[in-house]
Structure 1
Amino acid sequence: MFILDTYTIVGSAILLFVALLTSFINPFFRKPKVSKPFGNDIAHDFHEENIENETEIENREIEIENIEAETENIEAQKDTENLVNSTVSANKEVQNKIPTPPISLIFTPNDRAAAFSKNIEKYLNQDYPNYEIIVVVPQDDTETQDILKTYANNPRLYTTFIPTSSKYMSRKKLAITLGVKAAKNDWLLMCDIFCAPQSDQWLATLARNCTDDVNLVAGYTTYEEGTSDFWRFEHFLTSCYLMRAAQRGIAYRWNSKTLLFKKDDFIKAEGFRGNLKYIRGEYDFLVNKYAAKHSTIVENSWSGILVEEEPIYKHWINNHLFYMENRKHLSRNFAHRALFNLDQIALHLNYLMILAGLVYSILTQNLILIIAACLALILTLSIRIAIGKKALTTFNEEIPSWKIIPFELRIIWQNLGYKIKYWRADKYDFISHKL
């Protein structure tokens, strides 16, 4: 029945207001900025625009006389050639001003011979003037060493080894430290060999950010096609928080596999001192320790990203469990968690209010309140799907629109599952048993 009283009006207004407000308390609405295109990206964008312009010109020429069409076509071609030449010249001038500092890439493959064999060529063939690749491998990893022998004559490649006696610290962090000491350049790039660049401009794209007022350059990593949609969604959601924190103030940690930092900073602050015993979290600890306010650049343009191979389930779970241990030892943890918790409270509070309003209105047969609750639900779903899809599309994450809402609701329960696994785990599994 129609009941139009003060309680109905106020209740309906609250439901609609909360639905609108909480839909925008959303990490996808606050999505990070996208880096400007670089190199081939610019040429690709110009080529597409040029094709569209030529198509429009051709459609208009059909309507005019043949002689005039030929004349205009010649003029249009001249204009196009001039535009292309001026664009190329401008791009060359811009690229000449782009920083190209010498860079040392550090790889620490451990039982990753297959990935090393698959991806190393993509790193060796980067279109960049001055860089070296340092590979730090365990002395007992003979398979990777055999692959390295095939590149023994490559002047860019340098190999060093982890001593077998190192048992009381994270071998990954020790390997990185050895790579840092072996590097001859000040700018160091840490990434994982199971990730692959999609362009020979990858290194140049990252290096353009290496200016005097920057001490960290953090690159974005996405997962390869075929990876679980939820894993990709969760990774992107976390990346939104981390990229935005780095862009708007001071970086907290990093969940992607590309990080440029300075050798001098690493040596002066004694590298991983203070967290060497924690087996994982090298990207998190480096960013958390060395990030300063407004000194971290996020590079997430297409040519600057890495594509990571799909992790096995055990590795995916372990990454979350190790983070739950490591975050206890990270600075700025409370502020970062507070924003995530606020988003989750807003998300679930809205749905609970809609559900409560719908149940109450049905029990009281209040048709107006039923309509208001249904409208609030429609607004919530429509706005959140639209915002989420736009953010995902911006970063080329192809996740179906209908999965966005279920995935958003799943996040908090998935985190609870990780938390239960962490509580049940042996805490000595997260450290290297340093005495």
Structure 2
Amino acid sequence: MEYSVVLVVSVSLGILIIYWTVLLIKILSYRTKPKKNHPVSVIVCAHNELTNLKKLIPLLLEQEHSNFEVIIVDDRSDDGTYDYLLEAQSEQLKFVRVDRVHDHINAKKFALTLGIKAAVNDIVLLTDADCVPASVQWISEMTGNFVKKTEYVLGLSPYSKSSGLLGHFIQFETQWTAMNYVGFALAGNPYMGVGRNLAYRKSSFLEHKGFSTIQHIVGGDDDLLINERANKNNTRVVIGSDSLTYSIPKATWSEYIRQKIRHWSVSKYYRIKDKFLLGLQNFANLVFWLALTILAVQTNNYLIPAGMLIFRMVFVTILVNLTSKKFGYRMNIWLVPLMDILYAGYASIFGIIALLTKKVRWKK
């Protein structure tokens, strides 16, 4: 019995090492290409985000890019956003107002669609109202690698550092997600992006009739759009400290879990290939921890489970450290082993809840 459990632990760990090694090689071998200057429309959807907009808009207008406009979509705000935008609007800063919810399409997707249609330029760059660009080069970095065949550019959006277990866990989980979707994309299989830092062509969006195939789904305006339309030929990835946007992490576990359930609930609509690849990785991860626990209880030789655990912890710590530095920020690597253990239980429990959840919402 003990040998069988050792085999299960070894096989599951082997599968994970293969995944992580491929991701690590792809990410570390990424090289920045020469950048071109393109006209860009930056689009931000906002619902009662006045405080955040007052911080974000000046940072956007200070971007060192020769030709861009900023479009704020005011989605039914009642906090003074409309009056602020009315006074702040200029030739470079425009806004669109949404005054009601439509039954046939999710509110966030409707707001985004209006913003994209209002864009003067073909390249649109998306971020959220509670985000801030990491540098004045953000627009140039995110859009400089568009060539004729490029339709989608995936960026990274880590969360600002915060103290406490939740803050560290959010950073770890976000890094883990980024490591997967960036690595997969660089391997020729883009399956998702994050709307906090994502660029694509307006012409492609309209040609594919916008969000028509996913308009009824809450969420998915970023990952489902990429999952449905992106491929190795039309998609690029941007990595580096100047290309990042930072977002404010949730303050409580309940807020964070609701957010992640909303995000994860759309994964059931991914392509079969992507569900298999991601599912196999998550399944191997769960099996590893379960089998390792059983082995630790059964065995009289604790060197075997201890050795496997230490090997995994060292490998994961190196993986997170190297990839986060490549992405342009630093993680607290001393907490990685603890975060790795917490993530296994968290992902298993709330991942299943998300897949079974039918009703989620963006904002009221």
CA deviations over 1:249-289 (Å, ceiling 9, x no partner): 13212235111111111111110002212232211222123
Deviation at 1:25, TM superposition (A): 3.7
CA spacing shift, 1:117–1:354, aligned 2, 3 Å: closer
Q: How does 1:255-334 map to 2 (within 5 A)?
A: 255=194, 257-313=196-252, 314-330=254-270, 332=271, 334=272
CA spacing shift, 1:409–1:22, aligned 2, 3 Å: farther
Q: Could you say which residue in structure 2 is the equivalent of 1:113?
A: 50
Q: State the number of aligned residues.
A: 357
Normalising by structure 2, what TM-score?
0.84
CA deviations over 1:70-99 (Å, ceiling 9, x no partner): xxxxxxxxxxxxxxxxxxxxxxxx6xxx32
CA deviations over 1:42-80 (Å, ceiling 9, x no partner): xxxxxxxxxxxxxxxxxxxxxxxxxxxxxxxxxxxxxxx
Q: Could you say which residue in structure 1 is the equivalent of 2:141?
A: 205
CA spacing shift, 1:224–1:410, aligned 2, 3 Å: same
Matched, 1:148 2:142: no
Deviation at 1:188, TM superposition (A): 1.1
CA deviations over 1:318-350 (Å, ceiling 9, x no partner): 3322234322333x2x33333334334444555
Which has the higher Rg, Structure 1 or Structure 2? 1
**Partners of 2:268 and 2:275 within 8 A in 1:** no
Q: Could you say which residue in structure 2 is the equivalent of 1:366?
A: none
Matched, 1:339 2:277: yes
CA distance in 1, matches of 2:318, 2:38: 41
The SS at the match of 1:282 is coil
Q: Could you say which residue in structure 1 is the equivalent of 2:39?
A: 102
**Partners of 1:254 and 1:287 within 8 A in 2:** yes
CA distance in 1, matches of 2:12, 2:121: 53
Deviation at 1:290, TM superposition (A): 2.5
**Partners of 2:9 and 2:287 within 8 A in 1:** no
CA distance in 2, matches of 1:242, 1:275: 20
CA distance in 2, matches of 1:122, 1:423: 37
Matched, 1:130 2:67: yes
Q: Could you say which residue in structure 2 is the equivalent of 1:24?
A: 17
Q: Could you say which residue in structure 1 is the equivalent of 2:340?
A: 408
CA spacing shift, 1:396–1:371, aligned 2, 3 Å: same
Matched, 1:33 2:16: no
Determine which of 219, 224, 228 is the counterpart of 2:155: 219
CA spacing shift, 1:273–1:410, aligned 2, 3 Å: same
**Partners of 1:321 and 1:421 within 8 A in 2:** yes
CA spacing shift, 1:185–1:24, aligned 2, 3 Å: same
The SS at the match of 1:33 is helix
CA distance in 2, matches of 1:36, 1:423: 36
Deviation at 1:207, TM superposition (A): 1.8
CA distance in 2, matches of 1:17, 1:165: 52
CA distance in 1, matches of 2:322, 2:143: 28
Moved more, 289-298 or 120-129: 289-298
Deviation at 1:358, TM superposition (A): 5.3
Structure with more helix by fraction: 1
CA spacing shift, 1:328–1:37, aligned 2, 3 Å: closer
Q: Give structure 1 stretches of 5+ with no counterpart.
A: 1-6, 39-93, 363-368
CA spacing shift, 1:349–1:317, aligned 2, 3 Å: closer
CA spacing shift, 1:193–1:370, aligned 2, 3 Å: closer
CA distance in 2, matches of 1:23, 1:214: 31
CA distance in 2, matches of 1:203, 1:325: 30
The SS at the match of 2:80 is helix
Task: Give me the CA root mean square deviation.
Answer: 3.4
Moved more, 231-240 or 13-22: 13-22
CA distance in 2, matches of 1:328, 1:304: 30
CA deviations over 1:173-218 (Å, ceiling 9, x no partner): 1111111111111111121121111211111111211111211011
Moved more, 181-190 or 19-28: 19-28
**Partners of 2:240 and 2:328 within 8 A in 1:** no
Q: Give structure 2 stretches of 5+ with no counterpart.
A: none
CA distance in 2, matches of 1:178, 1:242: 28
Normalising by structure 1, what TM-score?
0.72
Deviation at 1:128, TM superposition (A): 0.7
CA spacing shift, 1:242–1:382, aligned 2, 3 Å: closer
Deviation at 1:304, TM superposition (A): 0.6
Moved more, 111-120 or 345-354: 345-354
**Partners of 2:219 and 2:262 within 8 A in 1:** yes
CA distance in 2, matches of 1:149, 1:198: 27
Moved more, 22-31 or 164-173: 22-31
